[in-house]
Each structure stands twice: as C-alpha cells, then as structure tokens.
C-alpha cells in the first residue's frame, strides 16, 4: 500500500534520486542537481506542510513527488507531478491534490481562481496527456540554448557612454531589480514583485553569485541587466544567464548582444566549458534570433502547459 506524506528539507537527496530517474527516462540524463532540489524545498514562502506531497510504496521507496508554489501574490501557481518510471496509477490522484492546493493558494492571495503552469519536456507524451486530461492547454515553449567555449573569449568593445557595475552592493541590485521588472513586464508568466521579495528569493538560492549580476548604464541611466549564476556549474560546468533584460527605450542599440558576449567572455575566463540560457520562443522581443546569431544552439525544449480559471 502506498503512503502519502509531506516533504522535509532533509528529503532533498531522496527526491533528487526520484527526479533523476524520471529525467533519465524522458530526456536521457538527469536535469536537476541535488542543490536544485534543496533550493526548491527552501523556496521563500513555500509551506512544506501544505505545498508538497511524497508517495512511498510498501517497501518505503519514494515513487512520486508533487508540489505547488504561488508566484508572489499573484493568481499564478507553478506546479508539477513526477512519478517514478514504471509506476502506474498515481498521477491523477496527485494532480487533484495539486490543483486543489493551487486554488487555496490563489484564494489566500485574494484571487477567485488559480492559473496553473506546468513544464513538460518536449516529447514527454505521458505527462502531456495528463496535462490535457486535467484541463491544461499549451501556453508557451522554452528552449535551452548553449554555446561552448574552447578557450579564452575576447570581450566585446563597449558602446560609447556605457558603464558596467556588478551586484555586490544594494544600490546596484535595486537598479537591476527596476530594470528587470520593467524589461520583463510584457513577458509570458511575468509577475511583478517588490525588491525585498526579488532579493530574498535570489539570496536563498545556492547558485546565486551577485558578482555575476551586471548592470549596464548608458550615459548614466540604467538601461539593461544580465543576471548570471552557477546553476549549471555542478553538472554541466557551464555558466548560466538566468536573466537578460533591456529597457524598451534602449532596445535596438546592441546592449543585449554586448551583455551576452560579455557573459561568454566572463564564463570562459572562469574556465567554464560553455554558457547556457533559457529563452521563451514567444518572447515579445526577437531574443531567439539574437542568441542564435551569437553562436548559441538549441539543446532542449520545455513546453509550458497552462490551466486557466
């Protein structure tokens, strides 16, 4: 008989083993590190007594893991259900629990209903079928892009009037937060958050390195920001561009390309094998073309399915 319990922070290793088995079945190799799982369990605002479920079989083996997490104070809830390959009959029950919790999370933030997103690896027909059965529809698609570094990369020449600052000071971080919020305002799934929430979430993540936040100011005015971190260092030995935002009034001046190539040079100087980023294929700016023209290639696709109220 299966038993359902709530996760704890010290369950990270067990959950990681399950997720790695699932990833390997679907895409051929693990896609999350132990630190990634630990960071999820320590997510600010997460209530492990209400927001997650573990299912163990009669022998005590973890066979499924599910969770729901509200984004800020919005009605948007990120969620997932992961079942060990070869184990049948658990997904529907867990999705019912997840969607019920999503409604509760939305209500706690003052919303009448929840919008729920789940990421599905391209080609995972079983999870896609479960998403459809539970009322999810295609939302958008993200492509993981990568460029390899075989040696030093020449830093790009800065445009006239450009100054760069890194994120070790609160003053720079606050400016970066403002650029990020304005630069991503029209993007899929974006939820506006205040500085304290923005900072707390990043500060809680083991991959955060504030020296990899680069704020670009043009003629003394904040114009663009790139936020890198170490998420892909343990498993891929690659730098990661988590965020690249250019304010609308500064677009078309090559700032995005400059910051991207500057990140390539910095990652190569750190001895990284490459640089990785994720891009929304339905981005309101032509980001996919920018990354491909800079030499990046697509290595993985994740489709986001959305259940609307």
- For the chain, what are the domain ranges? 3-116, 146-307
Question: Do the first three CATH levels of 3-116 and 146-307 match, i.e. the same topology?
Answer: yes
Q: Which residues lie below 8 Å from residue 263, measured CB to CB, with a gap of 6+? A: 214, 226, 228, 239, 241, 275
- Give the Cα-Cα-Cα angle 45, 139, 117 (nearest 5 degrees): 25
Task: Give backbone dihedrals phi and psi of 210, rounded to 5 degrees, phi first.
Answer: -65, -20
Q: Which residues pair with 116 in a beta bridge?
A: 77, 307
Cα separation, 75 vs 80, whole angstroms: 16
Q: Which residues pair with 137 in a beta bridge?
A: 306
32, 41 in Cβ contact below 8 A? no
CATH, domain range 3-116? 3.40.630.30
Helix residue ranges per DSSP H, the chain: 12-27, 34-41, 48-51, 91-108, 125-133, 170-183, 195-204, 233-236, 255-269, 287-293
Cα dihedral sign, 175-180-181-182: positive
Give the tens place of pLDDT for each residue, 123-140: 999 999 999 999 999 999
In this predicted structure, the answer to whether residue 305 has a pLDDT above a threshold of 90 is yes
DSSP H or E stretch at residue 3: strand 3-5
In this predicted structure, the answer to whether residue 180 has a pLDDT above a threshold of 80 is yes
- Overall average pLDDT of the 282-294 stretch: 81
pLDDT at 281 (0 to 100):
84
Helical pair 170-183 and 195-204, crossing angle rounded to 10 deg: 110
Cα separation, 308 vs 55, whole angstroms: 27
**Which residue is listed with tokens 């890198």?**
228
- Band of the pLDDT at 285, cuts 50, 70, 90? low
Give the tens place of pLDDT for each residue, 35-84: 999 999 999 999 999 999 999 999 999 999 999 999 999 999 999 999 99
Count Cβ atoms below 10 Å from residue 102 Cβ, excluding itself: 25
105, 230 in Cβ contact below 8 A? no
The model's pTM is 0.93
- Band of the pLDDT at 284, cuts 50, 70, 90? low
Q: Which fold has domain 146-307?
A: Aminopeptidase (3.40.630)
């Amino acid at each position: 008989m299966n038993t359902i319990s709530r996760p704890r922070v010290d369950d990270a290793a067990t959950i990681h083993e399950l997720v790695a088995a699932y990833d390997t079945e679907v895409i051929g190799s693990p896609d999350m590190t132990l630190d990634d799982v630990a960071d999820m369990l320590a997510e600010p605002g997460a209530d492990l007594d209400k927001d997650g479920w573990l299912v163990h079989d009669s022998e005590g083996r973890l066979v499924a893991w599910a969770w729901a997490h509200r984004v800020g104070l919005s009605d948007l809830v990120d969620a997932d259900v992961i079942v060990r390959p070869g184990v049948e009959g658990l997904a529907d029950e867990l999705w019912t629990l997840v969607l019920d919790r999503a409604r509760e999370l939305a209500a706690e933030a003052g919303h009448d209903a929840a919008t729920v997103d789940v990421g599905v690896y391209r080609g995972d027909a079983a999870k896609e079928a479960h998403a459809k059965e539970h009322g999810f529809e295609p939302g958008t698609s993200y492509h993981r892009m990568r460029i390899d570094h075989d040696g030093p990369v020449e830093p790009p020449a800065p445009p006239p009037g450009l100054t760069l600052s890194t994120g070790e000071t609160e003053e720079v971080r606050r400016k970066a937060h403002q650029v990020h919020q304005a630069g991503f305002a029209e993007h899929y799934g974006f939820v506006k958050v205040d500085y304290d929430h923005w900072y707390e979430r990043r500060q809680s993540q083991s991959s955060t390195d504030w020296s990899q936040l680069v704020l670009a100011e043009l003629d003394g005015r904040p114009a663009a920001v790139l936020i890198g971190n170490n998420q892909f260092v343990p498993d891929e030995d690659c730098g990661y561009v988590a965020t690249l935002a250019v304010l609308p009034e500064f677009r078309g001046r090559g700032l995005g390309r400059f910051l991207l190539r500057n990140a390539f040079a910095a990652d190569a100087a750190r001895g990284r094998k490459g640089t990785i980023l994720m891009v929304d294929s339905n981005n309101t700016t032509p980001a996919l073309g920018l990354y491909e023209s800079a030499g990046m290639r697509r290595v993985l696709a994740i489709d986001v399915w959305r259940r609307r109220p």
